[in-house]
Amino acid sequence: MQESTVTVKGQTTVPQPVREALHVQPGEKLCWHVMPDGSVVVRAKNRSILDMAGLLTAPKGKKVKVDDMNAWAAT
């Protein structure tokens, strides 16, 4: 597990192994998501959504409702 310290200005340094795993370069943005259970998901904003086109295919005959895809929004 990697650690960093938050400064009085609310800043922190992302540890090198984390930067490498996320393929983050200087100047790239990180997106922070606080989940309902209090966990935090951090994602590198270094890819366009268009890069993901065709990445997933739905199983034949199986459809998923939008509400089911957004399970974290349901409370």
Sign of CA dihedral 14, 7, 9, 36: positive
Residue 45 has pLDDT above 70, yes or no: yes
Structure confidence by residue, pLDDT tens digits, 5-44 = 999 999 999 999 999 998 888 998 999 999 999 999 988 8
- At 30, which amino acid appears? L
Q: At 56, is the pLDDT very low, low, confident or very high (cuts 50, 70, 90)?
A: confident
Distance (Å) of CA 30 to CA 7, 64, 70, 74? 18, 29, 21, 25
Q: Is the Cα dihedral 33, 30, 21, 49 positive or negative?
A: positive
Which residues, in sequence order, are CB contacts of 18 under 8 Å at separation 6+?
2, 24
Structure tokens of 29? 């943005």
pTM exceeds 0.75 for this model: no
Domains recognised in the chain with CATH numbers: 1-47+65-75 (2.10.260.10)
